[in-house]
Amino acid sequence: MSEPLFRTPATVSTPLPSAARNPLRRHLRALALGLGLMGAAALPAAWAQGVGDDVGKNSAFTKLVPASQVEQAAVQQYAQMLREAQSKNALGSDNHPQVLRLRSIARRLIPYSYEWNPRARDWRWEVNLIGSKQINAFCMPAGKIAFYTGILDQLKLTDDEVAMVMGHEIAHALREHARERMGKSAATNIGVNVISSVLGFGQIGQTLTQYGAQLLTLEFSREDESEADLVGMELAARAGFDPRAGVTLWQKMTAASKGAPPQFLSTHPSGATRIADIERKLPKVMPLYEAARKNG
């Protein structure tokens, strides 16, 4: 298993649905509102620029599951995945050209993640390459990134396009979409006793055990995917990668799908709609890219 990308991350300064008649839904709405009041925090400084106004605060449901436990589960699963890949001779070596390339891109992106999630400063970030024909990549909680060779080889990605993919996946971790999914599952499972159970973390452990084992296969909502696109574009732009590469990236993705979306696109907005969304947001992130290029 490879060593973490960063042991001590460097410090970088950078600039519910409505209540229904169903009693369970009313309890969930009350819980979400209560958690929002108890745990609300000032918006990150990054939100004052770029796409921050289009994103909003993290879901209140993330507060139902401790971040540390979700991250611990991710670390364990990621390590297991690497062991399995290594046993099949499918884990890219530390001196593999594509591994070096991915880690170089990650080093540029990661410092700009801290404003989106302060926990990211303490994550033991890792980037690894898995030999597989799948067109896929992901970033698990705690900064555990993996790319499959299929997405690099079949799509012939440029560095800018890789940065868009990586930024998107990092955004899922920063916005704690996996933790949100677990929180919603926990709230649904414990129903009308949700508040007392949460205060005592009575059934949260069961939910973490049940869903934590699925971190590698979790599917996010279209809203989560669109949000990850926005945050990922900003991360890439601040790091000096051209956010216009998002257009060419998804053109390649669409062409590769041949009518059947690859795993990476399974729950994503797709085609012309996605490209149009990216193009609409470019005016907000292009100045960040231009400033990054000017500053070297």
Catalytic annotation, residues: 169
CA neighbor of 159 nearest in space, from 109, 93, 211: 109
What is the phi/psi pair of residue 117, to 5°?
A: -155, 105
Angle at 128 between CA 126 and CA 131, to 5 degrees: 165
Helices 245-257 & 159-174, crossing angle to 10 degrees? 90
Structure tokens that stand for 45 in this block: 């400084």
- The helix/strand/coil state of 130 is strand
Instruction: Give dist(CA 61, CA 44) in Å, integer.
Output: 19
258: left (phi over 0), alpha (psi -120 to 50) or beta: left
Structure tokens that stand for 280 in this block: 């609409």
Structure tokens that stand for 191 in this block: 């129903």
